Chain A
Amino acid sequence: MRLDPRTKLFLLLMVSIFIIGGAGGQRAGLFRVLLAVLSFGLLLSTHSYQKVTAYIVVYIACIMLEIFMLPQLRGLPNFILIFMIGTVTRFMMAILLGQYIIATTTVSEFVASMQRMHVTEKLIIPLSVVFRFFPTIGEEVGSINAAMRMRGIRAGSGNLGKMIEYRMIPMMVCSVKIGEELSVASLTRGLGGEAQRTNICRIGFGLPDSIIILFCICGMAVLLL
């Protein structure tokens, strides 16, 4: 099943408003559950079973903590635990949907959909670079962590200054170098030229898109009525 990038963005907006933002209160409860189930289903459709299992385990752990641990605590620890459970269960949905979107959308498709929405080039290019760059930074951080572990510089041991010097600075230097290569590569492919760039991606709304958009509109209706 293929969804239009615009539908995915709309869905992410819904998760951000209803699940993280908690709009609609009790009345939107059912809609929120359906939205969460839909997000899980979408991530499952990319065959990343390990990730889905991990999310479900974390979710169940949070619910367990809420049922068994919470009544035992009073005052400040109680406050901190509520906050942590609330944050994890809410933000998990956005991260999950974000992973689905990044896994299933190519940068070209993203650019094509933004052009259809008449967003200015000045925003499209930096935004697509940002999305292209998140996985790269993740890889770099992984390699730097491995190198530092080999040298015996551990995450927990040092103070903040050490963390910055040994992890953040190398990450920035690597990313800037990769960024320079990226920008040369893009210029050779005609980015930033005078002519209007064409795009080979075919995007458009199909039946699954209509169903999901209709579902989201129903949710909005619940909020407004």
Chain B
Amino acid sequence: MNQKKLAGRDLINIGVYTAIYFVIVMAVAMFGFIPIFIPLLTVVVPLVGGIPYMLFVSKIKKFGMLTIMGTIIGLLMFVTGMGYWIILLGIVSGLLADLVLKSGNYESSKRSVLSSAVFSIWVFGNMMPFFLNRESYFAMLLDGYGNEYVETLKGYMPMRIWPVLLIACVLFGFLGGLLGKKICRKHFERAGIV
């Protein structure tokens, strides 16, 4: 069989690591339960998510695994009500991360950290309804949550904040990658799973 093609074992691995990654991200995202922390999710999620991500990356030797992971995360996020943009962004950021990793021949640890930064762009997909469908999104919130709420939220999420959030995702994805690399070295190599 072709060495470069994804085999059954790879596909199962994708599932296992995606499940771990998703559970950790959801646990961290509970901060978003308090609305003031919503913009902060672009900091915390890539940072903590970097740990399971780097563990996953250390196992990857083939192209396409991160694309599939991004697609699945996008689908799961869509089902939990984060809007349809996240599916697109999940696929794109997964594909880009795959390309970055491929450029380092799946061995370069610098490229792994860089791919963590690129992959973290998906987190921004959660925020996209705030900016892309702004009018209809707030009109819809008005029905359910009331006027005062919408005005306050508009104050927290002004239009001009989106580049900041996007850059935060990438930057903290990078830092998350560094953190993940350090923790991989400290714990997982000793436990014999890397």
Of all chain B residues, the one with the shortest Cβ separation from A93 is: B81
Known A-B contacts A23-B140, A87-B33, A127-B72; A169 and B187 likewise in contact (beta carbons under 8 Å) = yes
Q: Do residues A191 and B12 form an inter-chain contact, with CB atoms below 8 A?
A: yes
Known A-B contacts A82-B149, A122-B6, A193-B8; A130 and B18 likewise in contact (beta carbons under 8 Å) = yes
Q: Do residues A80 and B35 form an inter-chain contact, with CB atoms below 8 A?
A: yes
Q: Do residues B8 and A20 form an inter-chain contact, with CB atoms below 8 A?
A: no
- Chain B 56-97, CB within 8 Å of chain A: the 1/0 string? 000000001000110110011011110100000000000000
Q: Do residues A125 and B193 form an inter-chain contact, with CB atoms below 8 A?
A: no
**Given the complex, which residues of B lie within 8 Å of A83, measured CB to CB?**
33-35, 145, 149
Q: Do residues A16 and B79 form an inter-chain contact, with CB atoms below 8 A?
A: yes
| A84 to B: closest C-beta gap in Å | 7
CB of B159 closer than 8 Å to a CB of A: no
Contact of B193 among A78, A84, A122, A173 (CB under 8 A): A173
**Given the complex, which residues of A lie within 8 Å of B7, measured CB to CB?**
192
Number of interface residues of A (CB under 8 A): 54
Complex CA distance for A182 and B55, rounded to whole angstroms: 18
Binds A, one of B20-28, B99-107, B164-172: B20-28
Q: Do residues A164 and B51 form an inter-chain contact, with CB atoms below 8 A?
A: yes
| A52 to B: closest C-beta gap in Å | 21
Complex CA distance for A12 and B7, rounded to whole angstroms: 31
Q: Do residues A175 and B19 form an inter-chain contact, with CB atoms below 8 A?
A: yes
| B93 to A: closest C-beta gap in Å | 17
Complex CA distance for A171 and B52, rounded to whole angstroms: 11
| A11 to B: closest C-beta gap in Å | 11
| A132 to B: closest C-beta gap in Å | 8
Q: Do residues A22 and B140 form an inter-chain contact, with CB atoms below 8 A?
A: yes
Complex CA distance for A20 and B193, rounded to whole angstroms: 39
Known A-B contacts A130-B22, A134-B23; A22 and B72 likewise in contact (beta carbons under 8 Å) = no
Complex CA distance for A192 and B10, rounded to whole angstroms: 9
CB of B14 closer than 8 Å to a CB of A: yes
**Given the complex, which residues of A lie within 8 Å of B48, measured CB to CB?**
164, 168
CB of B39 closer than 8 Å to a CB of A: no
Q: Do residues A22 and B20 form an inter-chain contact, with CB atoms below 8 A?
A: no
Complex CA distance for A3 and B131, rounded to whole angstroms: 38
Contact of A126 among B11, B23, B139 (CB under 8 A): B11
Q: Do residues A183 and B79 form an inter-chain contact, with CB atoms below 8 A?
A: no
Which of the listed residues B12, B55, B64, B83 has the most CB atoms from chain A within 10 Å of its own CB? Answer: B12
CB of B13 closer than 8 Å to a CB of A: yes
Q: Do residues B22 and A94 form an inter-chain contact, with CB atoms below 8 A?
A: no
| A178 to B: closest C-beta gap in Å | 8
Interface residues of B (CB under 8 A from A): 1, 6-9, 11-20, 22-24, 33-36, 48, 51-52, 55, 64, 68-69, 71-72, 75-76, 78-81, 83, 139-141, 143-146, 148-149, 152-153, 183, 187-188, 191, 193
Interface residues of A (CB under 8 A from B): 12-13, 16, 20-23, 25-26, 76, 78-80, 82-84, 86-87, 90-91, 94, 121-123, 125-130, 132-134, 137, 164-165, 168-169, 171-173, 175-179, 182-183, 186-187, 191-194
Report, nearest first, the 8 A-B pairs whose CB atoms are least far apart.
A192-B8, A129-B15, A20-B81, A179-B16, A133-B19, A126-B15, A125-B11, A183-B12
What are 20 A-B interface contacts by the 8 Å CB criterion?
Answer: A16-B79, A21-B81, A22-B140, A25-B143, A80-B34, A83-B33, A83-B34, A84-B34, A121-B11, A125-B12, A126-B11, A128-B15, A133-B16, A164-B48, A168-B24, A168-B51, A169-B51, A172-B55, A173-B187, A179-B15
